[in-house]
Amino acid sequence: MDVNIELATWSNLLIYSAMAVYAIAFITYAFDLFGGRTLKSAVRQRQSAQELAASSRVRRTTRRTGSVAVLEDDDPRSGSPADRHGEEAGNADPSTGRSRRLARVGTSLTTLALVLHAAAVATRALSVMRGPWGNMMEYALTTSALAVILYLAALKYRDLRYLGTFVSGAVLVTLGLCITVFYTPAAQLVPALQNYWIYIHVPIAILSTALLSISAALAAFQIIKAATEQRTTPRWLRFMDRVPSSENIEQVSYRIAAVGFITWTFTLIAGAIWAELAWGRYWGWDTKEIWTFVVWVVYAAYLHARATRGWGPTRVAVLNLTGFASVVFNFAVVNIYFSGLHSYSGV
Amino acid sequence: MAIGSLFGYSGQRVLVEGDTFANSLVAYDSFEPGTYFDADRLDDFRIRLNSFESSFDDQATGNQFGQPRTFEADITEFYEGQEIRHRLEVNQPIRIGGTGIYLTGNGYAPVFTVKDAQGTVTFSGPVVFLPQPEASGYGSRGVLTVPDAQPDQLGFVGFLLPTAGLNDDGELISRFAELHNPYVVMSAYRGDLGLDTGVPQSVYDLDADNMTAVTDAAGNPITLELTPGETVQLPDGLGSVTLEGIDRFMAVDIRHDPTQGLMLVFSILLMVGLGLSLFVPRRRMWVRTNGGEVEVAALARGEDPRVEHAARELAAELHHGARNPERPAKGH
């Protein structure tokens, strides 16, 4: 029953500090995404010119009917025309790269905020000498930290900095909730959670939630981008020109969701095994168990709809967002308002 | 899953310290068998609750204060001629034969002695008081029925506060789940308990239809207030009630599901299959010669970002093989 109060206090202070830096990162990213005076008519012309040049070389049909690549000579172009446009448009900026510098600043600030955030998680864990996921506050704290880590890691492979505004904003809100609504003092665990399974079931759940949240953020961008691709962009959505094509975004969103789905399945199974140990049955239609299953079904529907013809990418992305809404519901509402075996909210 | 439910069972039992439970149908407080479950297949064991210990957090602050930290039941198991000592905890069930015993609840059982006006003992023993969810600090409610009381049968509805205190509104509540200031408040009834009618009653509810409240000289219903060791005299020569002490009880779930292991195997297979279906690409590749020209094509089933790369690899291999007919190309 020994709790290091000093470390717990440090943890709270670090959360506040991380929130401050995330706030600045959010504003910086917002300027990167929405700023830039000369809007993208110049870039549009460049795009259509490249399209003509590229289509004579490689013919590639869309994903919907399966990928077909027919190579007719021995120096093919790499990547899809749409891909290249997105990245070039993002990099070539009329205002001499000013906003991309903002993106770099935003990323650095996010990294700094993450260091503070991770320190908050670590000090909280050390103050009670157990994994930092024993109640809603700690869970949200850890999941948001992991989401930022995943985002920053993904930046090494693709320029996803258009997500930066959303990621820093969402994490800021989550941390705010942690320190207010979800807040509970650092303490030991109730007996039902005192088992090694908490180091298996919960971390995988945290990983799943983080992955699915990034995938949902991408799906949201995909829908907006698809809307701008269909018709001439309204003025207030011009910032979307900086963002890669909706097909590109969709691919990333899908791959992350697929991994998140596997880990979610594992969460469900690990939870069932632990439930047998703690409550005597591996499935009891407890509220949380049901909602975890609902999330699973929605994401399964999303993956299935994507593989089937007839579901356009926008409709599929809506399924992704519905799945994520269920994840949020599972966490925020079920923990607090439904009393069941799983209510370890600490609230 | 369905087979497991059909052939398994789930039962519950509340056991006070010192009591023994023998695994037979009559001993259960509640029992839900599967349709094809046969009572002869109950494992033959007995368990005795030697003692129950718990601890609650009195160091934490805020809403963590008073939260439970440990629940431990000291159990002796009697099975197949052997006596084995167990420590039963929430995440540590006892497995006997094919049966699992899981700790799912606990509470307090005040021990009462009721005597009639002549001093004859008409009731002696613990009464299980169930912790009420809306009450703090294990505030528990229970019913004490004394069918052998003279001249009238007696019934008491009691509330136990393990650590009695006043809250900000001046109401009597329990501040903490451990017995730091135990206090029992009871209302009393006399008359016919209704136990002879043959209709089953819950031991946690008092059927006061044929009873009246016990009143004092002024005609007001009495309220008994007891601390451990105290005796209260009842008016009208009804006798006395003594609170001897307060025991603990544990509640266990006893379950048997024969298909559990299989479920685990199948769910793992499900997960592996899922991973394979999502991440292993299936492709068809074609090579077509057209005079001196060679065409390579690849078709993927659904989304496959690397299909172009695969086609290009094959083309490069063929290219390499065409240029160097003596040396075989890498791979196949």
Q: pLDDT truncated to tens, each residue of chain A (347 aa)?
A: 478 889 999 999 999 999 999 999 999 998 888 876 544 444 454 455 455 545 444 444 333 344 454 444 433 344 344 334 334 444 444 433 445 788 889 999 999 999 999 999 999 999 999 999 988 899 999 999 999 999 999 998 888 888 889 999 999 999 999 999 889 888 888 888 888 999 999 999 999 999 999 999 999 999 988 888 887 777 777 777 778 888 888 888 998 999 999 999 999 999 999 998 888 888 888 888 899 999 999 999 998 888 776 688 888 899 999 999 999 998 888 887 776 667 666 66
Amino acid at position B62, single letter = G
User: Which pLDDT does position B14 carry in this prediction?
Assistant: 93
C-alpha distance from A74 to closest chain B C-alpha (Å): 8
CA distance A3 to B44: 45
Give contacts of A277 with chain B, Cβ < 8 Å: 91-93
**Touching B: A residues 50-69, CB under 8 Å:** 60, 63, 66-69
Is the predicted pLDDT of residue B124 greater than 80, yes or no?
Answer: yes
Confidence band for B331, pLDDT divided at 50, 70 and 90: low
Nearest to B303 among A63, A269, A347 (CB): A63
C-alpha distance from B253 to closest chain A C-alpha (Å): 7
Alpha helix (H) residue ranges in chain B: 2-7, 260-279, 307-323
| DSSP 8-class letter at B99 | E
A72 to chain B, any CB pair closer than 8 A? The answer is: yes
Give contacts of A257 with chain B, Cβ < 8 Å: none
User: Which pLDDT does position B243 carry in this prediction?
Assistant: 94
**Touching B: A residues 283-322, CB under 8 Å:** 283, 303, 306-307
The lowest-confidence range among A159-173, A235-249, B53-67, B163-177 is A235-249
A261 to chain B, any CB pair closer than 8 A? The answer is: yes
The lowest-confidence range among B91-105, B224-238, B310-324 is B310-324
pTM value is 0.80
- CA-nearest of B317, B202, B256, B300 to A63 is B300
Per-residue pLDDT, averaged over B223-237, amounts to 92
CA distance B112 to B128: 11
Higher pLDDT, B177 or B150: B177
User: Which pLDDT does position B52 carry in this prediction?
Assistant: 94
A262 vs B271: CB contact, 8 Å cut-off?
A: yes
B69 vs A185: CB contact, 8 Å cut-off?
A: no
User: Which pLDDT does position B143 carry in this prediction?
Assistant: 94
User: Which pLDDT does position A93 carry in this prediction?
Assistant: 42
A188 to chain B, any CB pair closer than 8 A? The answer is: yes
A71 vs B67: CB contact, 8 Å cut-off?
A: no
Exposed / middle / buried, residue A25 (Cβ in 10 Å: 0-12, 13-18, 19+): buried
Q: Are A150 and A206 in contact (CB under 8 A)?
A: no
Give contacts of A273 with chain B, Cβ < 8 Å: 264
A265 vs B274: CB contact, 8 Å cut-off?
A: yes
CB pairs under 8 A between A and B: 134
Of the CA atoms within 13 Å of residue A242, those in its CB half-sphere come to 28
Confidence band for B199, pLDDT divided at 50, 70 and 90: confident
